[in-house]
Structure formats: structure tokens, C-alpha cells
Amino acid sequence: MKTFTLAPLFLVIAAPAFAAEKTGWADLANTDTVVVLAFLLFVTFLGYMGVHKMLGSQLDNRAEGIKSELEEARALREEAQTILASYERKQKEVAKQAERIVAHAKEEAANAATAAKEDLKASIARRLAAAEDQIVSAQSAAVKEVRDTAAQVAVAAARDVIATQMTATEGNSLIDDAIKTVEAKLH
């Protein structure tokens, strides 16, 4: 039925060919009339064979295929957006974690620097104390050495004075007195 409704349309399209003729459009001697009739007969044959239905169904199938591809593309786009959002969230989480790690590292570095300063102060205090002990020890040793030297000098000077001024009897009496003093102190 659609073919018969299309026939007047084809006649309208072919009207310029009919207008160009002087003999009339119904004359079979006119080649334009024969071509138009053959064309109409061919179009009618195609309509009878259902070519328009096949073309329509193929166009519909193609449209459905395009529609399904669009739906698939839309679904893939949504999935990609979901994955992108997920990766962006993960990136933000990783950035926050990195900031926490850096802050923790800075805090540990500050604590280590404080501990190092305290250790350095303690080490300096120990070294100062050791140096002061060495100074005191050196002073004691120097004082002892000076006393020993002074005692040696005094003993030597006393020996010289005693040797030059004392007689043998005085020396013997001093020895006897010293023995008595020692005996008294021991008992």
C-alpha cells in the first residue's frame, strides 16, 4: 500500500520530463515516458518484494545498534567517572597521609635535635667536671710537689746548718732523745 501512495510522488518528480515533451506523456515513442514508466514499475516491484521493509528493518537494527553503543558508552563514561572520583579520593588520602608523615618526621627531627642539644649539654658538663677534677688534681699534685721540694730544701738546709753548728756530743744527745720519743710513742 505504501508503494501506491508513493507513485503520485514519483509522477510529480518526473513532471519536468513530461513538460519537456511536445507529443504528450502517454506516447510510448517518447523515451522519457518509457523511462518514467520503467522506473515506476521498478519501484512498484521493489515495494511488492518488501525491500522498503528490509531497508526499514536494517535502519531500525542500525539505530538499535547505535542506541546500544551509546548506552554502553554512557555506562563506560559513568564507570570512568566513578573510577576517577575513587582515584581522586585516594590521591587526597595519600596526600593527607604524606602530610601526616612529614609532620611526624618534623616532630621527630625536632625531638631528636632537642635530645642532641641536651646530650651535648650533658657531655659538655661532664667534660667540664672532668677538666675541673684534672685541674684540682693537678693543683694538689703541684702543691704536694712544692711541699715535697720545700721539705727537701728545708731538710737539706737544716742538715747543712746542723752539720756546721753541731758537735758530736750534741748529735748523740739528739739521737738519744729521738729514740726515747719514739719508744714513748710506740708504747
The yes-or-no verdict on residue 21 having pLDDT over 60 is no
Span 2-29, mean pLDDT?
59
- Most trustworthy range by pLDDT among 69-73, 157-161, 174-178: 69-73
The yes-or-no verdict on residue 51 having pLDDT over 50 is yes
C-alpha cell at 184: 714513748
Closest by CA to 2, choosing from 62, 55, 58, 53, is 53
- Give residue 46's pLDDT: 86
- Give residue 16's pLDDT: 56
Decide: 34 and 17 in contact? Cβ < 8 Å: no
- Give residue 15's pLDDT: 59
pTM for the model stands at: 0.39
Domain assignment present for 142: no
Span 55-74, mean pLDDT?
94
Please return the burial class of 10, using the count of CB atoms within 10 Å of its CB with bins 0-12, 13-18 and 19+. Answer: middle
Domain assignment present for 70: yes
- Most trustworthy range by pLDDT among 7-16, 124-133, 172-181: 124-133
- Give residue 117's pLDDT: 92
Domain assignment present for 23: yes
- For residues 133 and 156, give the distance between their C-alpha atoms in angstroms, rounded to a whole number: 34
The yes-or-no verdict on residue 6 having pLDDT over 70 is no
Domain assignment present for 143: no
C-alpha cell at 20: 519537456
What's the domain count of the chain? 1
Decide: 30 and 23 in contact? Cβ < 8 Å: yes
The yes-or-no verdict on residue 102 having pLDDT over 60 is yes
C-alpha cell at 13: 518528480
Alpha helices (runs of H) in 50-167, residue ranges in sequence order: 51-165
Q: What is the rounded radius of gyration, in angstroms, for the C-alpha atoms of the chain?
A: 66
Domain assignment present for 175: no
Domain assignment present for 60: yes
Domain range enclosing 7? 2-88
Decide: 46 and 6 in contact? Cβ < 8 Å: no
- Give residue 12's pLDDT: 58
